[in-house]
Structure 1
Amino acid sequence: MKFISWNVNGLRACMKKGFASFFEEQDADFVCLQETKMQQHQKEFAFEGYHEFWNDADRKGYSGTLIYTKHEPLHVQYGLNDGAYNDEGRIITLEYDSFYLVNTYVPNVKRDLSRIPYRMTYEDRVRAYYVELSQSKPVILCGDLNVAHNEIDLKNDKSNIGNAGFTDEERGKFNELLDAGFTDTFRHLYPTKEQYSWWSYMFKSREKNVGWRIDYFVVSNRLVPYVQDSIILDHVLGSDHCPVLLHIDL
């Protein structure tokens, strides 16, 4: 099965930059989007043969997640079990016979790090949720996780220590996620590969490939033997992020 995850940084804007052609060319089983920045009722497009599940933020033009899939799920959940974090449209979970798919857009801590307390609470709550899901079925988690885990995951690691996306707090929470029974598929397959999924719009960062790897496919450990490939499609334009892709035999 083929899964794609992409922070499109505004779906309507991305549509004007070739999103539809990319979508149709990929012919994926699942396409998970983050930062749609729109409400479902605003869309003027559809993709034949796909179910679509939108989780719009209450605030217009902000955040939001979306899953397109060829496969009708058994159940759909927005936010956590108690509805937490649904005001910002950050989580969609689809349940299938043999796995859960979770699409998430993790909160940015902001440049001044003022949102670290919120982020730490978010990380603890969602990790507990993933562990709970994984006790009954394995989990495929994807999205913009807004953290470069290790030094290899960003170009200028030394100058970015302590900056948003590369704080000890954020990196520590990613460690806790992996320790809870999950695997970063790209780094598992490519332990020394330097490749990025996000570039600042400033200073011609993408042209110079001065980027960060902050977009992931993370799976329950018991799914690792079925992972066929985990790919960063860094040639695909349309956003400040590029899509990431997972091939897995399910």
Structure 2
Amino acid sequence: MHLVSWNVNGIRAIVKKEFVNNVRAMAPDVLCLQETKAAEDEVYATCELLPEYKVYANSSKARKGYSGTAILSKEEPINVSYDLGLEDHDQEGRVITAEYPQFFLVTVYTPNAGDGLKRLDYRQTWDVEFREYLQWLMRRKPVIACGDFNVAHQAIDIARPKENYNKSAGYTQKEIDGFSALLSAGFVDTFRHFHPTKVKYTYWNFVISGREKGIGWRIDHFLVNQKILSQVTEASVFDQYHGSDHCPVGLMIGR
């Protein structure tokens, strides 16, 4: 089973940039999207270009054209649920959970700590309560969590660690600790598991032409809990695909 996750930075924009051809080239069984930046009916309308997929969308209720997630699945899930069930965290369309026979698949667009780290306190609360949500799911069956986690976990995951440490959103010690707590709770960073020393990035800042200069961050992840790790055969970064400031990441898992 091939799973792909992609922060598309606006689904209505990326669909004009070879998005459909790129999805068909990757041929995922399930495609998880973050930062759709569209109302749910706009997501459904856009995804009519991929009729082989059933589409589930969660859009921001707080701000139009902001945040948002979607899951496109060839196989109909047993159940699909939205958000965390916590009012403080359920206004921005950041989480979708799809239940399959073997596992729960959770896609997430983790809140960015923001310019000047103004949302860092909120981000810390989110990290704790999202982890507790995943642990609650884990008591029922294995969990795969994917998406834009908005954190580079180690120095190898960011092109300029010294310049950004404790200064830039996505590479503060508090965010690193939040991700470490997920791993301590029984999750595995699958790309780093298969490629312990490989330098790959999944996000580049357009403003500084980061992609062209090789100045990037690896902040998009597939995490699996230990129970299902033995079934994972590969974790990939598809940096050959353009159209967003992020590239897709993938996971191959046996049935």
Q: Structure 2 length normalisation: TM-score?
A: 0.95
Which residue matches 1:51?
A: 54
Which range moved further: 34-43 or 112-121? Answer: 34-43
**8 Å Cα contact 1:85-1:91 kept in structure 2:** no
**How far does the alpha carbon of each residue in 1:101-136 deviate from its partner, in whole angstroms, 9 at most, with x for none?**
000000000020110111111111110010111111
Question: Aligned pair count?
Answer: 250
The unaligned stretches of length 5 or more in structure 1 are none
Aligned counterpart in structure 1 of residue 234 of structure 2, from 208, 222, 229: 229
Aligned counterpart in structure 1 of residue 130 of structure 2, from 111, 126, 137: 126
Using the alignment, how far apart are the partners of 1:186 and 1:113 within structure 2? 27
**How far does the alpha carbon of each residue in 1:192-213 deviate from its partner, in whole angstroms, 9 at most, with x for none?**
1111000001222101111000
Using the alignment, how far apart are the partners of 2:72 and 2:2 within structure 1? 12
Which range moved further: 93-102 or 36-45? Answer: 36-45
Secondary structure at the counterpart of residue 210 of structure 2: coil
Which range moved further: 72-81 or 229-238? Answer: 72-81
Using the alignment, how far apart are the partners of 1:21 and 1:97 within structure 2? 29
Which residue matches 1:248?
A: 253
The unaligned stretches of length 5 or more in structure 2 are none
How far apart are 1:74 and its partner, in Å? 1.3
Which residue matches 1:63?
A: 67
How far apart are 1:40 and its partner, in Å? 2.1
Bigger share in helix: 2
Which residue matches 1:25?
A: 25
- Are residues 1:178 and 2:190 paired? no
Q: Structure 1 length normalisation: TM-score?
A: 0.97
Correspondence list, 1:5-154, <5 A: 5-43=5-43, 44-45=45-46, 46=48, 47-58=50-61, 59-82=63-86, 85-154=89-158
Using the alignment, how far apart are the partners of 1:50 and 1:215 within structure 2? 22
CA-atom RMSD in angstroms = 1.1
Using the alignment, how far apart are the partners of 2:87 and 2:103 within structure 1? 21
